[in-house]
Structure 1
Amino acid sequence: MKVAKFGGSSVADANQFRKVGNIIKEDDSRKLIVVSAPGKRHEHDVKMTDLLIRLGNAYVKDEKYKSYLITIMDRFSKIISELKLSDQLTKEIEDKLHSIMTSDLAYDDMLNCFKAVGEDSSAKILSAYLQSLGIDAKYVNPKDAGIIVKNDPCGAQLLPESFEAIYELRQEKGILVIPGFFGYTTDGILATFSRGGSDITGSIIAAGVKAELYENFTDVDSVYSVNPSIINNPKEIKVLTYREMRELSYAGFSVFHDEALIPAFNAHIPVCIKNTNNPSAPGTMIVANKKPNSKCVVGIASDSGFSSFYISKFLMNRELGFGRKLFQILEEEEVSFEHAPSGIDDMSIIIRDSQLTEEKEAIIVERFNKELQADIVTVHRDLALIMIVGEGMKETIGMAQTATRALGEAKVNIEMINQGSSEVSMMFGIKSNDLHRAIKSLYNAFFE
């Protein structure tokens, strides 16, 4: 039994739905299908989820919303008519949107319901299309599938008891089509995972039914060793470990949501990333373990939009409770940190810019000075992080030397480095405007 998840590009229009139908027909073991909301049809298009968010925000704020509603329904209607499916399906989607608008749900719960319509509608359309091909298929709501969650401001979290209910899906006949991205609380309230959460649903279903393989269909033949927008025709990665993929997805690799593999990882289920537009390509396998390789670096990931607090205090290392007090300030100001490299008298705290308004920055600096009695507190903005990833890096001599030499040759100044905290990655902090130059030099050093 395989679980196949199809991303937004795979269900962007009627032609893509047809490709998905062919892929499902080609392999009888693809029994459970998870789908995203329709993605972009072209570069300047808008994802369905973004349209639904705009509709929801406009409606709850009592602003003009009908243009969004018309755009959404036109797009669904076009897919349904081109697939020669019943107009009743279009009416069902429109009725769903109107029922959300007339509900008495709380603000956040109503927005979640709007956001979930994309995935829910994709699943209903795909199941109807498969039936039109003579395939025994049916739509399964996440509640009926057993996806029970607890709501959380950062995204719904699956409850452990869900896996027992999900396992029962193995007993169902035919093909089951399940919408990704959302589940239900024990009170029956719809809750969404964090953005990109359809990958999470796919991984949860694969773990729950104990699938032999979780296939994740996207719009690329494989995972690449570096961002193709920076390096032309980068090398493909044939095999990755879970830990390598986790590090890569965290640091800017857009193939996978960075939480997505956790359920599959815990259940030791292999994952294959494949291309809906080229399904015969072998793709990239993600496994628990792989054979050691002399060229241990598999990828170079990067992401911008970071800032850092630099805190210096003489004899910081001897002051009991210094770290606890520092992180308590961040917790009380509702700011999470990404990395915290430190020395004996200083520490850097790396934070995503999205969490750090000017007002928040001023408050934290004041509290660091006052409550920690710091000698120096400075803030550095416009930072980018580069992650060099590969199993066995910790045991391979010369990794840091190769990386720092490459950055030096590119005339890129290293703002910070963090190697010892991970066995599979080495992190560098640099200025954002040096990012492309740094990546090109590192790629040349490790892959050319």
Structure 2
Amino acid sequence: MKVAKFGGSSLASAEQIKKVGEIIKSDPKRKFVIVSAPGKQNKEDRKMTDLLIDLANTSFANQPYEELLQTIIIRFYKIITDLGLNRQLLDDIHHSILHNLKREQSAADKMDLIKSIGEDSSAKIVSDYLVSLGLEAYYVNPKEAGILVSDEPGNAQILPESFEKIKTLRERSGILVIPGFFGYTKAGKLVTFSRGGSDITGSIIAAGIHAELYENFTDVDSVYSVNPTIVENPKEIKVLTYKEMRELSYAGFTVFHDEALIPAFKRGIPVAIKNTNNPHLQGTFVVSEKKEKSKAVVGIASDTGFSTLYVGKYLMNREIGFGRRLLQILEDEQISFEHAPSGIDDISVIIRERQFTPEKEVKVLERIKEELHPDSLSLQHGLALIMIVGEGIMETIGIAEKAATALAHANVNIKMINQGSSYVSMMFGIDAKDLNKGVNSLYKVFFDDDYEYE
């Protein structure tokens, strides 16, 4: 059995959903279908989830929301009518939106209810369309599917007992179409995963039913070795390991939500990333272990929006508990850190800029001064991280030298380097303004076989 997950671009219009239908028809092993909310039809369009979030926020502010609601209903109307489906389906969606808007619940719980309507409606539309094609297909609500989650609105975590219940879905006949992005608590409350969570649902179902393959259909032919908006015509990656994909996802690759593969990874299920518009292409496979050795570096990921908190103190290494107390200050202010490279007399903590409000910034710096008595202290914004990824990095001599030389030739100053904390990646911190030229230089060194420095 295969699990096929279709992203928002695959469900943005009736034309795209017809392609989904053909893909499902072409392989009888595709028994489980996970769907996202309708995505953008073009660059100027908006994702359905964004429209629903705006609708909820407008309602919470007691502002008129009729125009937004009309936009949402018209979008669903066009999809349903162009597919030739029963108008009753549209009426049900409209009723569901109005019902959830009027519920007496907390804003967080209500937001989850409203923004889940995109995926839920997609599942009903796709299942009805498959039936219209003569296939045996059923809409299955996540509660019925057994997706039990923690009570954390907007950030639900799957509960371990879910998987045994999900496994029983194997016994059902026909094609089961399940909305992604949300599950239910033991008390029966709807709660969503973090944004991009339909990928998580797909991985959960694949793990639960012990799928032979989890197919993730999107709008790209494969995963590329580097961001194609930075490097023109980059090479495709045919095979990745789970560890490599997770590192790449964390560091800026947008194909997967960075938590999405964990359930499939634990079960050892291979993942195929394929294009709904070109389903005949091989795509990229994500596996537990590669059968053949590949290049040491398989991809280069990058992201901006980081800050560096630098703390220096003579003989810091002898002061027991210094690092713990520093991180405790951040924890008290609800700030998580990304990396913390350290030396004998200093430590740098890498933090995403969005976690700092001006008030938090002042408070953190004041507390560090008062409680840790550093010799030097600074907080710098505008940092970008570049990560070179590959399971062969630690076994290959000269990777760090090649990377550092590539950045030097691009006239990019390295502000931070972190090697050793991960067996599959090496990370460089640079000024955000130098990101593009740094990535281009690294790509030439590791992927352009004919390139030589002048």
Structure 1: how far apart are the matches of 2:294 and 2:286? 19
Structure 1: how far apart are the matches of 2:142 and 2:292? 40
The aligned counterpart of 1:17 is 17
Bigger shift: residues 367-376 or 438-447: 367-376
- Give the SS at the match of 1:354: helix
Displacement of 1:151: 2.1
Q: How does 1:105-184 map to 2 (within 5 A)?
A: 105-152=105-152, 155-184=155-184
Structure 2: how far apart are the matches of 1:259 and 1:341? 24
Bigger shift: residues 254-263 or 364-373: 364-373
Structure 1: how far apart are the matches of 2:115 and 2:303? 26
Displacement of 1:375: 1.0
Letter in 2 for 1:305: G
* Contact persistence 2:383–2:432 (CA under 8 A): yes
The aligned counterpart of 2:73 is 73
- Give the SS at the match of 1:282: coil
Q: How does 1:30-429 map to 2 (within 5 A)?
A: 30-152=30-152, 155-291=155-291, 293=293, 295-429=295-429
Displacement of 1:359: 1.2
Displacement of 1:293: 3.0
Structure 2: how far apart are the matches of 1:295 and 1:247? 16
- Give the SS at the match of 2:116: helix
* Contact persistence 2:414–2:429 (CA under 8 A): yes
Letter in 2 for 1:311: V
Structure 2: how far apart are the matches of 1:308 and 1:359? 17
- Give the SS at the match of 2:348: strand
Structure 1: how far apart are the matches of 2:16 and 2:241? 30
Displacement of 1:152: 2.4
* Contact persistence 1:329–1:367 (CA under 8 A): yes
Structure 2: how far apart are the matches of 1:137 and 1:294? 41
Letter in 2 for 1:360: K
Displacement of 1:292: 5.3
* Contact persistence 2:219–2:275 (CA under 8 A): yes
Q: Deviations over 1:121-152 (max 9, x none)?
A: 00000000000011000100000000000022
Structure 2: how far apart are the matches of 1:39 and 1:294? 35
Structure 1: how far apart are the matches of 2:62 and 2:375? 50
Letter in 2 for 1:17: I
* Contact persistence 2:156–2:191 (CA under 8 A): yes
Structure 2: how far apart are the matches of 1:286 and 1:228? 20
- Give the SS at the match of 1:194: coil
Displacement of 1:66: 1.2
Residue 446 of structure 2 corresponds to residue 446 of structure 1: yes
Letter in 2 for 1:282: Q
Letter in 2 for 1:76: F
Bigger shift: residues 240-249 or 291-300: 291-300
* Contact persistence 2:154–2:192 (CA under 8 A): no
Structure 2: how far apart are the matches of 1:294 and 1:45? 40
* Contact persistence 2:225–2:234 (CA under 8 A): yes
- Give the SS at the match of 1:308: strand
Structure 1: how far apart are the matches of 2:76 and 2:42? 16
Displacement of 1:104: 1.3
> Tell me, which stretches of 5 or more residues in structure 1 are unaligned?
none
> Tell me, which stretches of 5 or more residues in structure 2 are unaligned?
449-454
Q: How many residue pairs end up in the alignment?
A: 448
Letter in 2 for 1:259: E
Structure 1: how far apart are the matches of 2:178 and 2:231? 36
* Contact persistence 2:127–2:177 (CA under 8 A): yes
Q: Deviations over 1:322-379 (max 9, x none)?
A: 1111111111100000111111110111111111111111110111111111111101
Q: Deviations over 1:99-135 (max 9, x none)?
A: 1012112110000011100000000000000000110
Structure 1: how far apart are the matches of 2:427 and 2:150? 33
* Contact persistence 1:292–1:392 (CA under 8 A): no
Structure 2: how far apart are the matches of 1:149 and 1:20? 28
* Contact persistence 1:212–1:269 (CA under 8 A): yes
Structure 2: how far apart are the matches of 1:277 and 1:368? 53
Change (3 A) 1:48 1:212: same
* Contact persistence 1:226–1:234 (CA under 8 A): yes
* Contact persistence 1:12–1:38 (CA under 8 A): yes
- Give the SS at the match of 1:17: helix
The aligned counterpart of 2:452 is none
* Contact persistence 1:231–1:440 (CA under 8 A): yes
Change (3 A) 1:154 1:125: closer
* Contact persistence 2:153–2:191 (CA under 8 A): no
Q: Deviations over 1:171-191 (max 9, x none)?
A: 010000000000000111110
